[in-house]
Amino acid sequence: MDVGHESDWHYTPFDPSTKRSEATVTSGGSASRSVKGAPAQVSGLTTGWADLDAAVAALAVGGRRVLAVAAGPSTGLLEPIGLLAFEDPVRPDARELVDRLRSLGVRVVMVTGDGI
């Protein structure tokens, strides 16, 4: 996707209601769109994504966060590009820290973005 001086582009940031972000680039008279977001939502915008659920499940092992990427014309169905897996491992000292806080009477809770 060329986003050079001769291009016009528009970026839509992540939206929790659609669970995706996207960019549209117009260059040389043609427009293309790239989308990144929750696999189920991105897959619904594509021509079809064989074995998506199995691939996401395999990447999600161990708590990895998985995003899907698709691209194509600015209107119509997109082509699947791939999956991105992100890992944020628990710090080695986490258990010790939580135990210490609890011993001091602090109620420890974990706040995540899972509900987004």
Burial of 19 from C-beta contacts in 10 A (0-12 / 13-18 / 19+): middle
Report the chain (116 residues): mean pLDDT per 10 consecutive residues. Answer: 66 94 91 96 92 93 91 94 90 92 93 64
Q: What residue has token string 């769109």?
A: 33
Give residue 58's pLDDT: 94
Q: What is the pLDDT of residues 18-27, one digit of tens each?
A: 999 999 999 8
Enumerate domains of the chain plus CATH numbers: 7-89 (3.40.1110.10)
